[in-house]
C-alpha cells in the first residue's frame, strides 16, 4: 500500500479543507487525526474520503511505538488549540508545543514532509510582519506556543533531513469553520448576524482606530490551501512563511462585503458603508475589556519570503473572497 498522507486537526477548519482538497486531487489514502471531544466537528469530514481516523492520543502512541514507521510520506499538522482567549497555559503548551515537537521528530526520523500551522499571532502588537526574530513578541499564550515551536524549527537549521514548512496564517475565513464558535471569522459572524437580524455589530475603535477601522490581513481558506498544496508539490522548499494577502483591510470592509453579498443574493442593491451606518445595518459595540492589551488592531503580511520561495499565485481580496464565501454559506 502507498504511504499515508496524515492530516492532524483533520476535522477542524483548515484541516478539513486540506482533506477535501487532497480528495479533489484523487488522494484518499489519508490518515485523519483529531480530538473529537467536541464531536460536532465530524460534520466537516462527511463529504470527504479518508483511509482511517485516529484520535490524537492514539496517533501519538502509535508514533512512539514505531507502528507508523515507514508508512507516512507527509504530515499536514493543523491540530492545535486555536482559542486565543484560552488561559490554561499548561494545556496550550502541551497541545501546541509538545505535540508539534513529537511530530517534527517523527518526520525528521522518517524523511517525511512536515507542513505545519504557525500563526501571525507571534508578531503580537508590532507593526512589522516579517519572519524575523526581532519582530516577534506574542501577546497571549497561544501566540507564545506557536512562537516557541517556530524557534525549535529554526534551531534545526541545515541539519533537517526532510522538508519543514511552517505557515503563519493571518486572519483565515471560509467554509468548514462553523464549529469554531466565537473563534470563527468575522465574515462568518457578520453573515449570520445579517441573516438573523438584518444588521451587523462591530467593535468600536481602539488603539486610535475609528469605529470598525481596525485593519487585518484577511485571507481566504482557498488561498491557504493552495499554499499548502504548493509546498507539498515542492518538497525541496523549507522555511517559515507568512500566509496572508499582503494587504490589510478594515473590519468595516468585511461587513460591507458580507452584507452586500447577502443583498445581492436577495436581488437588493449594494449599499455603501455610510448608507449602512445611516440605516443602522452597521453599528458598533463597546470594545471588550478582556481583549484590551491582547488585541492586534493591525496586521499585514509581508509575503516577500513566500514569493521568493516561488509561490506566485494571486490572493483573493476581502470583497472577492467574502462574496464567494457567502455564496457557499447560502448554498449549504
Cβ partners under 8 Å of residue 309, min gap 6: 234, 237, 239, 241
Name the residue among 69, 1, 64, 59 with its Cα closest to residue 31.
59
142 given a catalytic annotation: yes
- What is the DSSP-derived secondary structure letter of residue 278? H
Q: Which of 4, 116, 142, 144 does the annotation list as catalytic?
A: 142
- What is the DSSP-derived secondary structure letter of residue 298? B
User: What are the DSSP calls for 90-137, one per residue?
Assistant: HHHIIIIIIHHHHHHHHHHHHT-EEEEEEEGGGGTT-S---SSGGG--
Cell output for 59: 496517533
* Gap between the Cα atoms of 312 and 307, Å rounded: 6
Angle at alpha carbon of residue 69, lines to 66 and 75, rounded to 5°: 115
- Locus of grid cell 508508512: 71
Cβ partners under 8 Å of residue 299, min gap 6: 120, 123, 129, 170, 171, 215, 216, 217, 244, 248
Whole-Å CA distances, 54 to 33, 65, 254: 5, 15, 37
Backbone phi and psi for residue 247, each to the nearest 5 degrees, phi listed first: -140, 120
Contact between residue 83 and residue 95 where contact means Cβ atoms under 8 Å apart: no
97 given a catalytic annotation: no
Contact between residue 171 and residue 299 where contact means Cβ atoms under 8 Å apart: yes
Q: Which of 56, 180, 201, 294 does the annotation list as catalytic?
A: 180
Name the residue among 138, 60, 100, 114 with its Cα closest to residue 238.
114
* Pairing verdict, β 215-216 and 249-250: antiparallel
Active site (catalytic) residues: 142, 180
Amino acid at each position: 500500500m502507498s504511504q499515508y498522507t496524515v492530516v492532524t486537526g483533520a476535522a477542524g477548519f483548515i484541516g478539513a479543507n486540506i482533506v477535501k482538497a487532497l480528495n479533489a486531487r484523487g488522494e484518499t489514502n489519508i490518515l485523519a487525526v483529531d480530538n473529537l471531544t467536541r464531536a460536532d466537528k465530524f460534520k466537516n469530514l462527511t463529504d470527504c474520503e479518508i483511509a482511517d481516523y485516529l484520535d490524537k492520543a492514539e496517533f501519538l502512541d502509535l508514533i512512539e511505538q514505531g507502528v507508523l514507521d515507514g508508512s507516512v510520506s507527509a504530515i499536514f499538522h493543523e491540530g492545535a488549540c486555536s482559542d486565543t482567549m484560552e488561559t490554561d497555559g499548561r494545556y496550550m503548551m502541551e497541545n501546541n508545543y509538545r505535540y508539534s515537537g513529537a511530530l517534527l521528530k517523527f518526520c525528521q526520523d522518517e524523511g517525511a514532509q512536515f507542513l505545519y500551522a504557525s500563526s501571525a499571532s507571534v508578531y503580537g502588537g508590532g507593526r512589522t510582519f516579517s519572519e524575523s526574530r526581532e519582530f516577534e513578541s506574542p501577546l497571549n499564550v497561544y501566540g507564545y506556543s506557536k512562537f516557541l515551536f517556530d524557534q525549535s524549527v529554526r534551531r534545526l537549521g541545515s541539519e533537517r533531513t526532510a522538508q519543514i514548512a511552517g505557515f503563519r496564517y493571518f486572519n483565515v475565513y471560509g467554509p468548514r469553520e462553523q464549529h469554531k464558535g466565537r473563534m470563527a471569522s468575522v465574515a462568518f459572524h457578520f453573515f449570520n448576524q445579517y441573516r438573523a437580524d438584518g444588521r451587523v455589530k462591530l467593535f468600536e475603535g481602539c488603539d486610535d482606530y475609528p469605529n470598525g477601522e481596525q485593519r487585518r490581513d484577511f485571507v481566504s481558506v482557498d488561498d491557504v490551501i493552495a499554499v499548502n498544496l504548493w509546498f507539498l508539490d515542492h518538497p525541496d522548499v523549507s522555511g517559515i512563511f507568512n500566509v496572508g494577502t499582503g494587504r490589510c483591510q478594515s473590519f468595516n470592509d468585511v461587513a460591507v462585503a458580507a452584507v452586500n453579498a447577502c443583498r445581492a443574493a436577495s436581488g437588493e442593491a449594494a449599499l455603501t458603508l455610510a448608507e449602512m451606518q445611516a440605516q443602522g445595518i452597521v453599528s458598533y459595540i463597546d470594545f471588550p475589556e478582556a481583549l484590551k492589551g491582547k488585541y492586534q488592531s493591525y496586521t499585514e503580511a509581508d509575503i516577500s519570503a513566500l514569493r521568493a520561495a516561488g509561490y506566485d499565485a494571486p490572493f483573493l481580496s476581502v470583497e472577492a473572497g467574502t462574496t464567494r464565501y457567502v455564496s457557499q454559506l447560502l448554498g449549504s
